[in-house]
Structure formats: C-alpha cells, structure tokens
Amino acid sequence: MKLALKELRRRPGRFATATVILTLIAILLMFLGGLLDGLIAISTGAIRAQNADAIVYSDTAQASFVRSRIDPELRAQVEAVDGVSEVGGIGNVQLGARVPGNGPRDLASVALFGYELAPDGVPDAPPYGQAWADESIEADGVEEGMIIEVGPARTPIEIVGFVEDTNFNGQSSLWASPETWRDTLSANRPDAQLGPGVFQALIVRGDGDLPDAIDAATDGATDSYTVDGAVDAIPGVTEQQATFNQIIGVTVAIALVVIGLFFALLTVERTSLYGVLKALGAKSSTIFAGLVAQAVVVTTIAATIAGTLVVLLDVLLPPGSIPLLITPARILLSFGLLLVAAVLGCSFSLRRVLRIDPASAIGTTS
C-alpha cells in the first residue's frame, strides 16, 4: 500500500484525469443533493418546526391544510384521548403579498399560518394584524416593522420580526394569531372561510403513540401523523425526493463506472510491473489493496475540492435565487457514496490482478 501511495505522490499527473472527472461528478452529486435538500427545506420547514407528537388532519385531507377541517367537536374528541396533554389549532392560507417599494405585480409569495401552539423557533402569536415572518422574505425587500398587503383583499399584516427555516410549499411563512389568519382567509378566500373554532389541523403534544390512538378515538374521522410522517405526506415531497434520488443514484453509478474503467486501464498498463512485484513476493491482496488505496485517495481529493467549490457556490449565490442548501451531512453523504463507488469500481480490477502471472516477469522484455 505504501508503494501505491508513493506512486500517487510522485506521479500525480497519471491520476489527474480521473481526479478531474471525479471532481466534476462530486460537484454534480453535491449540487443535486443540495438542490434536493433546499427544495425539501423550503417545502417542509413549517411542519418540521412543529413541536408536536401528532399532527392531526381530517380523514379525507391527505395531509393537505386546504382540504382539512377540524371542528370543535372533533377537537374535543382528540383532547380526550389518553396521553394527550396539549392541543392547538393551526391553519394556513397561501397568498401573494404586496411589499411597499415593489411593483404592483411584484408579489411576494407567502403562506400565512394561524397557530395556537408555537412551533420551535417561533415566539407566541403576536397581536391581531401582526405576524412573524420567515427570514427568506427579506429577499423580497421586506423589513421588520413593514406592513405588507396580503391577497386580493390587501389585508394588512405588520411584520414584527423574523424566524428561520419555517417555509412551506416554497413560500415564505408568516406566523400570526388564529384570528388574524381566520380573517385573512375569509377576506381573500371567501369560498374557504371557516366558522368560529374551526381549524384546518391540530398540533398535539403528549405521551405514547398518539397518531394511532387519536385516529382510533375519532373512529377514523382524523388522519394523524408524526412530524416526520407529516413532512413525507406533504403533497409532492416524496415525489421530489424520489426523482432527485434517482438522478443521484445514476450519478453514483456513473462515478462507479468511471473509477472502474480508470483503474481497469491502469491495471492493464501495469500488468508487467505487477508481474515483477508478484515474482518478488507480492501477494495479489497487497496489490489490490494498493489499487483501492489509490482510488480512495483520488476520491477523497475529488470530494474535498468539490465540497469546497460547492460551499463557495452556496456562499456566492444571491439568497433566494435557487433553493440550494449545502450541509456538512450532504457533503459527507456524497463523499461516502463516492467512496463506495470507488471501492466497487476497483473491484472490477480484482480478477485481473488475481490473474496476473508472476511468470510473466521472466522471459519478457517489457
């Protein structure tokens, strides 16, 4: 293995092509992963932020706020379930908002939530007519203290501060009192207005397996999820994940083939040298371990360069321009996938290494 690492150090040019190609693949892998994470983050932040043991929708809602209705009677049934300690209503309406200083058609997309139990990172509901806003709305020119006009009814909402990572369906979230939300919904979506005490969903805290217990207690009138389950159930999220993961999978497969071909060619080129080393007493396992070590080092270098470039790209991109979220976890996952591809790719050469005959070193001139 020392021999292989020395070759890498002294003949870096031989590995430059593979390193460049792998770096490009690693950039693609990390960029795709970052896009997936970014898309998921801006679609699910409002649900992920919920400090809940169960999120309860009505039975036919399919985890959609728009389709869900929880009336006071149903809420009372939920509150009566063993293990339930706190229940808070939540509702949402998605609208366009006029921002002072922007053009009349330059609307900021917002998802206004009315809530009783505050999500993580969001303070208690502000007074009527005010809202906390996700910081992503700053990209639309919104500032603290600014009054924006929401929806066709131009309902005024004063922004009293900013919170992080609470976006929903790709829109900036606004967090307001239930009354503010209910009146905004009635004024801008008259067809969807809800009666007093009616919410779209419930945030439930307590002990035990609450989603199943709640659905059983309401005799199937509710459709309850854990927070993770509710995130996955958001319409479009699973489809987005599946699509991106397939693209990422194909990219990893391409990396595997690239590494496999590169080291297969290298092995063919080195057949004579390996024959000599075997004649001198090298085991096939020693030679193969050297190949794997070289592949791991090349992959590590490629992933390090790619990780640095992707982080730089993330820093340089204007906020809100594309939904890119680069995290250490994503970079490490991409690195891990490339390492697996590298080791598997190298294994294509194992048979060839095993078949190299030390006798080939004798009686040949090259």
Partner 1 sequence: MNTAPSNSPADSSAGTSTLTTALQMSDVRKVYKMGDGSEVVALDHATLTLGSDEVVALVGPSGSGKTTLCSIAGGILSATEGRIVVGDEDISGHDAKELTKFRQDKVGFVFQSVNLVPFLNARENLLVVDELGKRTGAPAKARADQLLEELGLADRAKNLPSQLSGGQRQRVAIGRALMNDPTLVLFDEPTSALDTKLGEQVMELIRNEMKSRGTAAIVVTHDERITHYCDRSVHIIDGRLEA
In the complex, which residues of this chain contact partner 1 (CB under 8 A)?
2-3, 6-7, 10-11, 272-273, 276-283, 286, 358-359, 361-366
How near is the Cβ of 14 to partner 1 at its closest, in Å? 9
In order of 57, 134, 185, 219, 236, the CA distances from 202 in angstroms are 7, 21, 17, 16, 21
Query: In angstroms, rounded to a whole number, what is the distance separating the alpha carbons of residues 35 and 283?
Result: 45
Query: In angstroms, rounded to a whole number, what is the distance separating the alpha carbons of residues 66 and 43?
Result: 15
**C-beta closer to partner 1: residue 283 or 351:** 283
- Where do runs of H (alpha helix) occur along 224-270? 227-233, 237-269
How near is the Cβ of 298 to partner 1 at its closest, in Å? 16
How near is the Cβ of 258 to partner 1 at its closest, in Å? 23
Cα–Cα nearest to 201, from 61, 22, 44, 361: 61
Determine whether 288 is exposed, middle or buried from the number of CB atoms within 10 Å of its CB (0-12, 13-18, 19+). buried
**C-beta closer to partner 1: residue 198 or 276:** 276
**C-beta closer to partner 1: residue 69 or 278:** 278
**C-beta closer to partner 1: residue 120 or 269:** 269
How near is the Cβ of 290 to partner 1 at its closest, in Å? 11
**C-beta closer to partner 1: residue 38 or 290:** 290
Query: In angstroms, rounded to a whole number, what is the distance separating the alpha carbons of residues 194 and 179?
Result: 11
Cα–Cα nearest to 19, from 334, 263, 326: 263
How near is the Cβ of 360 to partner 1 at its closest, in Å? 9
Q: What are phi and psi of 222, to 5 degrees?
A: -120, 160
**C-beta closer to partner 1: residue 3 or 329:** 3
Query: In angstroms, rounded to a whole number, what is the distance separating the alpha carbons of residues 324 and 33?
Result: 9
CB 353 within 8 Å of CB 267: yes
**C-beta closer to partner 1: residue 2 or 105:** 2
**C-beta closer to partner 1: residue 9 or 105:** 9
**C-beta closer to partner 1: residue 245 or 364:** 364
How near is the Cβ of 361 to partner 1 at its closest, in Å? 6
How near is the Cβ of 284 to partner 1 at its closest, in Å? 9
| 196, two tokens | 């007093």
How near is the Cβ of 260 to partner 1 at its closest, in Å? 23
How near is the Cβ of 295 to partner 1 at its closest, in Å? 17
Cα–Cα nearest to 309, from 56, 26, 57, 17: 26
Cα–Cα nearest to 84, from 123, 52, 47: 52
Element at 96 (helix H, strand E): strand 84-98
With a CB cutoff of 8 Å and minimum separation 6, the contacts of 55 are: 47, 201, 202, 203, 204, 224, 225, 226, 227, 230
